[in-house]
Structure formats: C-alpha cells, structure tokens
C-alpha cells in the first residue's frame, strides 16, 4: 500500500535533547526542515 504524504505543516511542541537541537541549529537556517527530513527518512525506513 502506497502512502500519500500530507504536505501540510502542523505546529507541534516537541521535546528534543539540547545537544541534538544545538547540532541542527549549527547547520544554519531551515534547521527545522532538516529535522523534518530526518524524521521522514526514519518513517520511510520503517515501512
């Protein structure tokens, strides 16, 4: 079964370890987009 991604963004509160957040912030602007990409990659790997 193929899943269709809902590309609408949802605002959530998410607790992330301080060092993990600091790492993503050091990668520059759009760090939240990169976090989303990592999470999407994990979801795809679990399928």
Q: What does DSSP assign to residue 27?
A: T
pLDDT for residue 1 is more than 80: no
Question: How many angstroms separate the CA atoms of 24 and 32, rounded?
Answer: 8
pTM of structure: 0.79
pLDDT for residue 4 is more than 80: no
3-state secondary structure of 42: helix
Residue 35, class by beta-carbon neighbours within 10 Å (0-12 exposed, 13-18 middle, 19+ buried)? middle
The string of pLDDT tens digits covering residues 8-34 is 889 999 999 999 999 999 999 999 999
């Amino acid at each position: 079964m193929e899943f269709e991604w809902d590309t609408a963004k949802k605002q959530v509160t998410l607790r992330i370890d301080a060092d993990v957040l600091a790492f993503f912030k050091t990668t520059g602007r759009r760090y939240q987009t990169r976090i989303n990409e990592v999470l999407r990659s994990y979801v795809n790997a679990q399928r």
